[in-house]
Chain A
Amino acid sequence: MSNYPSDLKYTKDHEWAKKSGGNIVVGVTWHAQDALGAVVYVELPKVGATVKAHESFGVIESTKAVSELFAPVGGKVAKINDAVTGNPGSVNDDPYAAWLIEIEPSGAEFDGLMDQATYVKSLEAAK
C-alpha cells in the first residue's frame, strides 16, 4: 500500500481530500498520523456547520500533543464520521479509511490542492 494514494488531493497542513459525488471527503495523511503518534481524541464540527478553507474545523489529539484540523475547502459540513470520534486510534490504523468530515463545497478550492507527487515532494523537502 502506498502511504499516499494517487487518487487523493493533499494540503500543506497534511490533510487529504477526495471528491465523492458533489462533496469533498476530508481526512489526515499518513504523515500527519505518524507525526502525531497514537491518536486518542478527535473533535469534529456539527453537521450543518460552516467551515472556511485553510481554517480550523476541529482538533485531533495524540497521547502527547493537540493539533488543529484545517479544512482543505470551504463550505458546509454534510457528514461527520462518528466511528472515528468513537475510535480515535482508527486514524493510525488507516488514515485514508478513517475519513473525518464531508464538506459540501461553496467554491472551487479543491482544484488548487496538491496532487500526490507534489505532496510527496513537499514532505521530502521538509525533511
Chain B
Amino acid sequence: MSRHTPLNAAHRKLGGRMVDFAGWDMPVQYTGLIQEHEMVRTNVGLFDVSHMGEIEFKGPGALEEANRLITNDLAKATDGQAVYAGLLNEKGTFVDDVVAYRFSPEHIFICVNASNADKDFAWMAENAKKVKPVNRSNDYAQIAVQGPRAFALVQKLCGKPLDGVGTYRFTTGEVAGVGCIISRTGYTGEDGFELYCDPNSAEKLWFALIDGGAGPAGLGARDSLRTEMKYALYGNDIDDQHTPLEAGLGWIVKWDKGDFIGKAALEAQKAAGIPRKLIGFELTEPGVPRAHYAILKDGQKVGEVTSGTMGPSTKKAIGIGYVPPALAAEGSTFHVDIRNRPVAAKVVKTPFYKKG
C-alpha cells in the first residue's frame, strides 16, 4: 500500500497519472512529460515533493552536530542560507545527498530524499553525539515552484519582498496565507522556490499557485529536467558504492572544516587516485541510453550508464555514467551497449542544457 502525500486528492482531481515511487503514490505526469518539461523551462510548473523527508537538529551545538555528519560547511554559511551536501558513511560513499538549512547555529533543518528518509534518520540518530535529530517528515508538505515565472508568481502571493532571497537562501513567511519556509532552491535548472508548509494547508497553497498561473508537473518531467542539468539522483547516479569525488561533487566537500564522517576515506581516495568519474555524454548514433546499460571501450565493459533519456530541451539522447578517468575528458569516445548493439557516444560538457 503506497503512502499518500497531502496533495494526493489534488493530483487525482487534476488528472495525474499515479505510480508508485519509493513507496509513495505519486503523479508521473498529468498532460504529458514533454509538455510539462517545456512548461517549467519557459513558464512555471509545480511539483509535489511532500514525500521528501525533513530532519531537524535544535539546541546548543546543533550546527556542530550536523556539520560532523555532512560534507559541506554550515559554519561558513550564514543564517538564512542552505547548502547542498553529502551525508556519507565511513567508507566515504553516500548515505544520501541532502540540503541543509541554517536557521541559526542552534537550528539546522535538513531535507533528505524520500527513499532514504528512514535510513538517514536512523544513521543520524546513531551517529549524533550530543544533539539528537528529530524526524519532522510528517510535519511538512513541500511544493517546488519552478520556472522563469516562478519568482513573480510566489512574490505576488507573498506579502514580504523576496528580492533579497538569493539562490540557496531562504526565509519564512506567508504565501497565499499559508505559513512557509520559502527556499530559493530547486532541481530543474530553472529559478524558483521550494515551499515547505503544514500538510493541512498544502492543498490551499497548491491551488493558489495553480490559480496564479502555474501548471502541475509530474515526476517524469522532474527527472528529465534534472537529467538535462546532470543533477545527481540518489539510487541512480550516486549511492553507497560511490564517493562525492567519483560523482564530480568535490565542490560539496569542505576539507578545511574539521572532521566529518567519511573524510578519512575521501582523503585516502584522493591520495590514491579517483578510480572512476561520473560524466555526461551524448549518443552520436541513433538510440536512447538508459540506466544500467554497459559502457564499452574496445568491446570491453568499462563502466555503466546511471541515467539517460532523450532530452526534451536538448533534443539529444543524453546520458550520465561512470567511466575510468582516462575516458572522462570532454570529447572522449566510447560505446553504450543498447540491447547488444554498441552505439557510439562522446563525453560532452555539462550541464547538457544551457539557457538561451
- Which residues from chain A sit less than 8 Å from chain B, CB to CB? 37-38, 40-41, 43, 59, 61-64, 66, 85
Contacts and interface: CB of A to CB of B under 8 A. Distances in A.
A67 B46 CA distance: 29
A66 B309 contact: no
Given A63-B224, A66-B290, A40 B310 contact: yes
Interface of B: 28-29, 32-34, 220, 223-224, 286-288, 290, 309-310, 312, 317, 339
B288 A37 contact: no
Nearest to A64: B220
Contacts of B220: 37, 63-64
* Dominant secondary structure of chain B at its interface with chain A: mixed
A64 B312 contact: no
A43 B339 CA distance: 11
B286 A38 contact: no
Contacts of B317: 41
B290 A63 contact: no
A59 B28 contact: no
Contacts of B32: 37-38
B353 to A, nearest CB: 14
A64 B290 CA distance: 9
Nearest to A85: B286
30 contacts: A37-B29, A37-B32, A37-B220, A38-B32, A38-B34, A38-B312, A40-B288, A40-B309, A41-B286, A41-B288, A41-B310, A41-B317, A43-B287, A59-B339, A61-B288, A61-B310, A63-B33, A63-B34, A63-B220, A63-B224, A63-B309, A63-B310, A63-B312, A64-B28, A64-B33, A64-B220, A64-B223, A66-B288, A66-B290, A85-B286
Contacts of A62: 33
* Dominant secondary structure of chain A at its interface with chain B: strand
Contacts of A38: 32-34, 312
Given A61-B288, A64-B28, A64-B309, A37 B33 contact: yes
Contacts of B33: 37-38, 62-64
A27 to B, nearest CB: 20
A39 to B, nearest CB: 10
Contacts of B287: 41, 43
Query: Which one of A37, A43, A63 has the greatest number of beta carbons of chain B within 10 Å?
Result: A63
Contacts of A61: 288, 310
Given A38-B34, A63-B33, A63-B224, 9 more contacts: A37-B33, A38-B32, A38-B312, A40-B310, A41-B286, A43-B287, A61-B288, A63-B310, A66-B290
Contacts of B290: 66
Nearest to A38: B34
Contacts of B312: 38, 63
Contacts of A66: 288, 290
B124 to A, nearest CB: 33
A3 B309 CA distance: 28
B20 to A, nearest CB: 14
A66 B339 CA distance: 11
A62 B309 CA distance: 9
A43 B224 CA distance: 22
A37 B313 CA distance: 16
B63 to A, nearest CB: 40
Nearest to B28: A64
Nearest to A59: B339
Query: Which one of B29, B224, B288, B312 has the greatest number of beta carbons of chain A within 10 Å?
Result: B288
